[in-house]
Amino acid sequence: MMKTPARVIALLIAWVFVLGSTFSAMSQTPTADQDPYLWLEDVQGERALAWVRQRNAESEGALQARPGFAALRTRLREVLDSKEQIPYVSRRGDALYNFWRDAANPRGLWRRTTLAEFRKPQPAWEVVIDLDALGKAEGENWVWASATCLGPEYRRCMVALSRGGADATVVREFDTVAMRFVDGGFKLPEAKTQLSWKDADTLYVGTDFGPGTLTDSGYARVIKAWKRGTPLAAATTVFEARKQDVAAYVEVDRTPGFERTLFGRAIDFYNTTSELLQGASLRPIDKPADAKLDFWREHVLIELRSDWTLAGTTWPRGSLLVGDAAAFLKGERRFTALFTPTATRSLASYGATRSRLLLDVLDNVASRIEEWMPAADGKAAWTRREMQAPYPGSLAITPLHDPLLKEDALAEAYLLNVANFLQPDTLQLGQAGSAAADARREVLKSRPSFFDATGMRSEQRFARSKDGTRVPYFVIWPKGAKADGSNPTLLYGYGGFEQSYTPWYSGAIGRAWTGQGGVYVLANIRGGGEFGPAWHQAAVKANKQKSYDDFAAVAEDLIKAGITSAHHLGIQGGSNGGLLVGAVMLQRPELFNAVVCQVPLLDMKRYHKLLAGASWMAEYGDPDQAEDWAAISRYSPYQNVRKGQTYPKVLFTTSTRDDRVHPGHARKMAARMLEQGHPLLYWENIEGGHGGAADNGQRAQMMALEYTFLWQQLGGR
């Protein structure tokens, strides 16, 4: 179960230095008007695209000529296109839906099957939408985004498709029985749209309705009710957020007997308001602004980001509280804590079967699953059981219960995905209830081994950051590697937006890196969510530098332990992680010999003026405010790169169609570094969105360029 405001914010996000100078970074920073590379922010401008094509040709010429490039790209494409990958599913009524790409279907198939078929080694799938055929017929480069379907029949779905992988989508009503788009049905033009079904003939829609209807972040500010058969212009406004908010949101719970509609404002990335629709009126819900609120049948759930004191009891941030929903709405504040954090344990997520809550708890960055059941008499007592599941590793649990169905054979069922760095994922079907039920979990699908892990091993280690904080990181050792300082090593990090990175199995990393003798390292630095809200909040705004200190500390620890040396150490990160590696590259250049900087933020003076950038000010601060800029200016890469300094060689990758993080960040940084004489490579995919690639062919090309660059810099190949 995704918490209501969290779901909205996840859609907006979701899969983003002190140098040794004695001069003030602020005094050396050109204003926007003085920036000689502002023209590179013109995404589709002729001059800018000519610059991009020249850089792409240079980078491809340098890397594609390397021995083994074509073979590597083929091996990576085999992983991405493998028909043996697990087809992950979501339930809609009696059907299990999946979106699938392979060599024959590069843009993908939206398809469905039954649980009985899904159990088979080779299920029979019914294709609902063939994106390759649709794109060809309509002359569009469609990329799948989402489908919002009306239960319990799930016949009518609002299907969102993007051009080239952008966040902005075109949304059309689709009939999953007739297998076609509905003639005269609901249709929304390209925009960053969100919507919910009110009923079969009414949508709640947040989109670009014209001037004044978007927030400064470019998301919907206005929610309207749109009746079937009427023009969008006739839709009635039901809720408005403020222009400076991130977005307005709406969430409709149609569970029989517990129907609720919530409207609210995402004030920033972490603070929301919520209002409950009662008749024709909206009733504000009293909750801490930064708490995540959810309703589950007769219960209210509140996940805290800050300490909350009630009647002399202080619930610590990171806690999950449950109470009676009706009493809560009447003003009662009586809760039971289902989870309270410790120094090493945090709540990653939770979901609900018909009668139980399933909690995914991180314990030193490894998953455990807890099952909680309310007392049968509806009183305050809850019972807890730790479910039997592999440890350590990563567990992802997806309840299959459909609350809209009167009779549901899968009411207590769930899917459990199990993975770690060296063992391929398995997807299991389980039933909540008992240890005996845990033992009977059925393995539905297993991912194949894409590389030989014989002799490889993984371990968790800890580094000491500049302020003494213990920072965990994982090391994946290739077969035969020794701590002699000679191992080509790739260090990956993110450290932002309370996002946690746990062990995962990657056939691509295995084939391109660890299986070829490289060491892979995942750093769980502050700014992430691995140890709950406190771990995140320790490295935001004025304290963002702590993320970079943590990352540098892991690099130092790798070198000190003899796992690698600076000559053989490279770093990689995307989005907020692109900012991370960009900043650390400039602050500690002596530690690294290669940087892969993907879809990055880099010009932190202007990030809030570019695309969705304004939505991230709760993470970084407002550069137009002198106090915030005083901190940001010390690490913003675009303002801190210097002529005459020696930096590790960097490969920038981005996408023209990224309408979340503006490609101007990478373009301008590369242009400035080239002007200053720094060696670098730059590659921009003309499609791809924030993920950098629109299909498996593009993704294989991008990854082959990145790993070829890394081997060239770190392994002498």
Catalytic residues: 575, 690
SS3 at position 682: strand
Sign of CA dihedral 150, 154, 155, 157: positive
Name, in order, each residue with C-beta under 8 angstroms of 137's C-beta and a sequence gap of 6 or more. Answer: none
How far is the C-alpha of 411 from the C-alpha of 343, rounded, in Å?
A: 35
Residues facing residue 299 across a β-bridge: 296, 324
Q: How many other CB atoms are found less than 10 A from the CB of residue 238? A: 19
SS3 at position 144: strand
Answer for the pair 263, 282: CB distance below 8 angstroms, yes or no. Answer: yes
How far is the C-alpha of 428 from the C-alpha of 446, rounded, in Å?
A: 9
Characterize 271-290 residue by residue with b for buried, 16 or more Cβ atoms within 10 angstroms of its Cβ, and e for exposed: bbbbbbbeeeebeebebbeb
Query: Nearest-CA neighbor of 510 among 454, 565, 557?
Result: 454
- Whether omega before 288 lies within 30 degrees of 0, making that bond cis, reads no
Q: Which residue has the tokens 């020249």?
A: 54
CA terminus-to-terminus distance, the chain: 47
DSSP string, 560-581: HTTS--GGGEEEEEETHHHHHH
- Whether omega before 152 lies within 30 degrees of 0, making that bond cis, reads yes
How far is the C-alpha of 490 from the C-alpha of 521, rounded, in Å?
A: 6
Query: Nearest-CA neighbor of 331 among 279, 286, 277?
Result: 286
How far is the C-alpha of 683 from the C-alpha of 58, rounded, in Å?
A: 9
Residues in the chain: 717
How far is the C-alpha of 531 from the C-alpha of 471, rounded, in Å?
A: 11
Residue 3, amino acid: K
Under DSSP, the state recorded for 29 is P
Query: Nearest-CA neighbor of 532 among 342, 287, 270, 307?
Result: 342
Query: Nearest-CA neighbor of 132 among 98, 152, 102?
Result: 102
Class of residue 339 by CB neighbours under 10 A (exposed 0-12, middle 13-18, buried 19+): buried
How far is the C-alpha of 399 from the C-alpha of 554, rounded, in Å?
A: 37
- Which helix (H) or strand (E) segment holds residue 47: the answer is helix 46-64
